[in-house]
């Protein structure tokens, strides 16, 4: 049997945290669901840039590189090898939202267009999802809400867990004939329980993008040497300047001979001592490989595969990819269902609350004054506060407010 007083205490904080974070949770669910359609939304708008008409003989990749250089603010750092004759060749510079790509029509020897993520409407959706369009301040709000969502899920599962009398049926019990308040409560609890594990995985995939937790996680990776190898991105590797540099076309021939899985790119040297790199992007993460070559001799200097990546980085990339629905159609569909059900569960909980709420009162669940949190509960809160610093800060503020309210009541 569950501890009744503990159940009431957890229910109180589940209720308060849920009520405060609910608008943000609904917004995250809606914007996350919309962003899953990014590729489908962007594809027709970008087709005239990415697709070219196959005509006469294509110019060399080396000449295409030269055409791309003046079109970008910074020298291109990579080129994606086309897999079809009617694909424009992509040269890119910058990272993430600052990334800019120029597309070269190899048959007409001209630029077919440029694409930058920040110029897409979907970029606005992503910014709304990740920072509420409020920059760093908004990012921290989202991180705080996401941190409390872990608490909401854990407390919700405990409060919902059926007793022995209800048995397994309690996990599926939705009372359709017991009034609307009870119906919406059951819809909130039952569906919330059954997507709880998926929600935890989804949250784990989103947390690395946050400011405070993300920075701490990166520090832990560096401290434990469980991130990317230092030479993964060719850092610290140099070419031996001797003679003429080999052409980009020679590197393309070499890359094609490797038969790498997924999208294959050539990392381009940015200076005379820079190196060529060959790497693939695929969400069969175990098949990812990287090779770095001297740009003059073509000699392979170092190579890496997925096993060289540290365990924390591997876990991080897996959860982030799952969060974005990038493991195929099944993953995309699962994430769409999670987004829809999360919004549904949040709204059902709100409706249930409004139907039970007394007019002009918050109707906050009551907790017996005799209840005191056990050392185990306190230890769990401390661990969560360390893992999620913004959650920890909010708990300290809540504790101070509760203490001052208690003193005021005594006085």
Here the tokens at position 397 are 């503020």
Could you write out the DSSP letters of every residue in 174-225? --TTS-HHHHHHHHHHHHHHHTHHHHHHHHHHHGGGSSHHHHHHHHHHHHHT
Percent of the chain with pLDDT over 70: 98
CB atoms closer than 10 angstroms to residue 256? 13
Reply yes or no on whether the pLDDT at 293 is more than 50: yes
The DSSP bridge partners found for residue 79 are 91, 266
Per-residue pLDDT at 112:
96
Q: Mean pLDDT in the chain? A: 92
Q: How far apart are CA 307 and CA 91, in angstroms?
A: 28
Question: Which is it for the CA torsion 395, 156, 129, 197, positive or negative?
Answer: positive
Lowest mean pLDDT among 63-67, 97-101, 111-115, 325-329: 97-101
Percent of the chain with pLDDT over 90: 76
pLDDT at 407: 59
* pLDDT recorded at residue 366: 80
**Rounded-to-10 torsion of CA 68, 303, 285, 200:** -100
The burial class, CB within 10 Å (0-12 / 13-18 / 19+), for 44 is: exposed
Can you give the pLDDT at residue 245?
95
Q: What is the Cα–Cα distance from 29 to 60, expressed in whole angstroms? A: 46
Q: Is the pLDDT of residue 278 over 90?
A: yes
Q: Is 248 exposed, middle or buried (0-12, 13-18, 19+ CB in 10 A)?
A: buried
pLDDT for res 408:
57
Asked if residue 410 has pLDDT above 50, the reply is: no
Mean pLDDT, range 121-130, rounded to an integer: 95
**What is the signed CA dihedral for 389, 390, 394, 397, rounded to 10 degrees?**
70
pLDDT (0 to 100) of residue 225: 94
Taking residues 331-340, report their average pLDDT: 97
Report, as an integer, the average pLDDT of 370-374. Answer: 84
pLDDT value at 360 more than 80 = no
What is the number of residues in the chain?
411
Q: Mind listing the pLDDT tens digit for each residue in 167-197?
A: 888 899 999 998 888 999 999 999 999 999 9
In terms of C-beta density within 10 A (0-12 exposed, 13-18 middle, 19 or more buried), how is residue 86 classed? exposed
Taking the model in full, what pTM does it have?
0.90
With a cut of 80, say whether residue 65 has pLDDT above it.
yes
Structure tokens given for 28? 């995250």
Residue 406's pLDDT band (cuts 50, 70, 90): low
């Amino acid at each position: 049997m569950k501890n009744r007083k503990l159940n009431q205490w957890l229910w109180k904080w589940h209720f308060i945290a849920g009520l405060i974070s609910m608008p943000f949770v609904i917004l995250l669910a809606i914007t996350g669901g919309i962003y899953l359609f990014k590729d489908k939304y962007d594809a027709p708008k970008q087709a005239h840039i990415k697709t070219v008409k196959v005509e006469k003989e294509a110019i060399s990749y080396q000449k295409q590189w030269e055409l791309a250089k003046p079109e970008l603010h910074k020298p291109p750092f990579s080129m994606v090898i086309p897999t079809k004759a009617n694909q424009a060749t992509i040269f890119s510079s910058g990272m993430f939202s600052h990334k800019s790509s120029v597309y070269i029509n190899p048959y007409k020897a001209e630029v077919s267009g440029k694409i930058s993520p920040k110029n897409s409407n979907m970029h606005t959706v992503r910014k709304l999802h990740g920072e509420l369009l409020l920059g760093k301040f908004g990012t921290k709000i989202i991180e705080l809400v996401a941190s409390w969502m872990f608490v909401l899920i854990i407390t919700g599962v405990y409060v919902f867990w059926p007793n022995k009398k209800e048995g397994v049926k309690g996990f599926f019990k939705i009372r359709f004939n017991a009034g609307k308040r009870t119906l919406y409560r059951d819809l909130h609890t039952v569906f919330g329980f059954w997507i709880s594990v998926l929600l935890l995985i989804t949250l784990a995939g989103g947390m690395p993008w946050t400011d405070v937790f993300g920075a701490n996680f990166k520090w832990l990776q560096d401290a434990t040497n469980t991130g990317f190898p230092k030479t993964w991105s060719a850092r610290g590797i140099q070419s031996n300047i001797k003679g003429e540099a080999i052409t980009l076309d020679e590197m393309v021939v070499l890359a094609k001979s490797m038969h790498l899985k997924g999208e294959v790119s050539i990392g381009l040297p940015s200076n005379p001592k820079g190196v060529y790199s060959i790497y693939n992007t695929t969400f069969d993460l175990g098949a990812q490989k990287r090779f770095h070559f001297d740009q003059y001799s073509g000699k392979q200097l170092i190579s890496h595969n997925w096993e060289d990546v540290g365990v924390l980085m591997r876990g991080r990339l897996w959860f982030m990819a799952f969060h974005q629905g990038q493991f195929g159609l099944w993953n995309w569909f699962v994430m769409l269902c999670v987004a829809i059900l999360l919004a549904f569960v949040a709204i059902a909980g709100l409706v249930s609350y409004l139907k039970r709420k007394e007019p002009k009162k918050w109707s906050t669940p009551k907790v017996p004054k005799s209840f005191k949190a056990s050392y185990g509960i306190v230890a769990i809160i401390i661990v969560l506060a360390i893992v999620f610093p913004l959650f920890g800060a909010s708990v300290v503020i809540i504790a101070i407010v509760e203490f001052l309210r208690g003193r005021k009541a005594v006085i």
